[in-house]
Every structure is written in C-alpha cells, then in structure tokens.
Amino acid sequence: MKAAVIGLGVEGKKAVNSLLRHGWEVYATDLNINVDLSGLDLPMLSMNMIDDKQTVSIVGENITVDLGFTNSYAIENCDAIAISPSMFGGSFAERLLEDGDLLCDVATKHKDIFTIGITGTNGKTTTVHMLKTILEDAGKKVLVGGNGGGGFSGYYDLILEAQDDDYDILLVEVCDMTLDFANYCFDFDMVGLTNIGNDHMDVHKTIANYKNSLVRFFSNKTIFTAFNQDFNSDFKEAANKTIPYFAYQDELKLVGEFNLLNAGLATAIARELKISKDVVKSSLKNFKAVEGRLDVYKINDADVYVGKTDNSDALASVLAEKDFYALFIGTPRHNETHRLDILDVAVNYNPEVIVLFPGLDDTLDMAIYRLNSLGYMGNIITVNTLDQIIELVAEYSHEDAILIGGNGQDVLIDIQERIKQISEKL
C-alpha cells in the first residue's frame, strides 16, 4: 500500500513516520522548501545538498519527499492520502472527499470502535490520561492519541494502529483547531469539553466562532460539559444528550481547581460507561501529573510550580491558586503574537519578578516590549539557558512560591526534569 502525505507540519511528519512503521510506502510533499524536517525518518543525506535550490527530492527506501513542488502523478498512484488537518475544508480536501481517498476512508476499522473525544482549550491531555487510567484499571483495552500538540502520535497514527489491532475503546484528544477534520475522520460516541478559553484566536477570530465550531462538532452526539459552561444552551440544542459534570470531590494529587474539573469530566464519562466508583476513586487517587503539565516541587522554602500555561486563561487559572513571587514565562513563536496576552495576565498579577526565556521561539524582544508597554514596574530578567533558569530558581527558593510556565512544552519538560532532580536531592 502507498500513501501520499500532503504538508509536513507536526501532523504530517507524524503521519509519515506512522505510515512507514505500519509498512506503507510513502510519498510526502510540502511546497515550502524550508520546512523543518526534524523528526522525520529520512535517509541519511547532507542537508547542504539542497542549499540555494528552489526544489529538492529526497529518495530513500519506501519514501520519497518532494520540497518546493508536488508531483501530481505520484499522488494519483497512491492508495490513500493524508492531508494536514488545517487543509480540511479547502477545495483540495473537498475533491479528496468526493473520491474517497482520505486515509480515514481507506483504513476504516477505527470507525467500528467505541470512540470518545476530549476537546477544549485547556486540560485535554490531563483529562485524556485520567480517563485512560480509569478505563484500563477497569480492564478495557484502550487506544489513545490524536492532537499532536498533546504529545500523542497524531490522528493518522490512531487510524493505522486501530487497523492493525483490536481495542475496546478509542480515546481521542481533539484540538479545537481541528474539530471539523476530526469529526469527519472519527465516529464519536461521546465527547467531553474541558472548557472554552482564549487561545488560537488567530484561527477562530472570536469566541463566537469557536462556539459555532463546537456546535457543529457536538451535533447528534452525547456530550459532557461543565455545569456552568458558557453556551450550554446552544450545546444542549445541538447534542443528542448533554450530561453536566462538576469538580471532583475525592482525593487527587494534582494541584488546582482546574484539575478537579478535569477529574470531574473523566469521572462523569466513566460513570456513563458503568465503571464502578471504587475503580474511579482508586485510579484518580494514584494519578500523577502528565509530563510537561503543571506539577509542584519543593526547593528550600519555595513551592516551584512548573508546567505549560501557554494561553491567558491557563495562566490566570494557575495564578488564582497561589501568591507567586516570580513568574518565569516561555515565549511564543514569532507568528503567534496573540499568545503574548499571557503577559497581560502576568502584569495584572504584578509579581516582583518576571523572567522571560525562549519557549517555542526566541521572541524575548517582543515580550520585553509588551511588558514595557503594559507599564510593568517590577524586575524583568531574560535568560537563554536551562542553567540560568536553575540559578534564578535557587536565588528565589527562599520565597513562598515560583511559577515556571508559558509556551514551549519541550523546554518546560527539560526544566521540569531538572527541578524534580534537585527537589528529590534536598
């Protein structure tokens, strides 16, 4: 079998690797010759070979990659096509739908598995892992994946894994930017909404547009929403069945009211699936924070909170929990200036110190300008290395609390690992 992968963003690269692992031959293409190929299983080539050229082809065993152009003949000779979720709804995707060439229409076993989707702005990954733990403790064989940003292998990997093995439940993390794509590719039996927050507004433009996307996604499904969620009346009208959930009331190791709500969502879904209360309680009692998500470590006198808080609502929910002396904020990509609004929240909180470090990109200058324009009068410090961050954590470790968050999941995981090592030695 041969598949074409159109677009080599995060999801496209994950699709290529998954197809190769599952024995497919792959033709991959991206019109951007400067696309980041890191993470792809490519033949050993010197990237200097493609300098100053407008197009390039990389050919290896079972894979061909064309950059700067697309070979339409190669695509036509493929059995299935994987497109970037961001392309869904465009004219090219519509033609593929007519021809039935999308990978999810060729490999269809996943559509026969009971499928649960978890979507929302914040808390998706934690909720997915909570629910996975509960279901597996109840004896279910669960396949988990979806949104590449959640640390999973991607939507296409789910489809291919489901094709090759038998599962009781398919558990999908659905990014709010890919609702229509996921709705087409998967047959959701249940969907849980964590929350609606201020993120990806470069795509949604307004909260109302985001809400309308969710209404389409929820149509004729069983959905779970927080008892006080905005737009619940719209969602109830669209859904086949609406089940409210509340903050979890039993023992939970994770910090924050937001995690009690995540646990409440996982619990509500588990109970609808007739999982016993004892299993739910036991599973969540022992549940530990997902790597890169908010966790707390003790260093000298300070509680050091570390985890991704890459949008204003996520940061605000953490700042409501504790009085932080210093905030360490990872900066966003150059083209994601909307995410600089986390600095607005930080300034409103008015900590003694704001430390800026490169999260997804080195946009320190942009962040400093934003802080100055907001009139922040505290101490602004910029750092570029993990060692510099650790030095400042040690300096502030006799204060009550420190938060290290913002953008850059991989960077934050590295920081989290170092902080954990230090904490365990003290």
* Residues sharing a CB contact under 8 Å with residue 406, sequence separation 6 or more, in sequence order: 308, 309, 310, 315, 328, 329, 330, 331, 332, 342, 359, 412
pTM score of the predicted model? 0.89
Distance separating alpha carbons of residues 103 and 66, to the nearest angstrom: 20
Distance separating alpha carbons of residues 235 and 216, to the nearest angstrom: 9
Q: Which residue, 149, 229, 241, is CA-closest to 188?
A: 241
The per-residue pLDDT string of the chain (426 residues; one tens digit each, 9 = 90 and over) reads 999 999 998 888 889 999 999 999 999 999 888 888 888 877 655 443 444 467 888 888 889 999 998 898 999 999 999 998 888 888 888 888 888 889 999 999 999 999 999 999 899 999 999 999 999 999 999 999 987 666 677 899 999 999 989 999 999 999 988 899 999 999 999 999 999 987 665 666 788 889 999 999 999 999 999 999 999 999 999 999 999 999 999 999 998 899 999 999 999 999 999 999 999 999 999 999 888 889 999 999 999 999 999 889 899 999 998 999 999 999 999 988 889 999 999 999 999 999 999 999 999 999 999 999 999 999 999 999 999 999 999 999 999 999 999 999 899 999 999 999 999 987
The H or E element that residue 203 is part of is helix 201-204
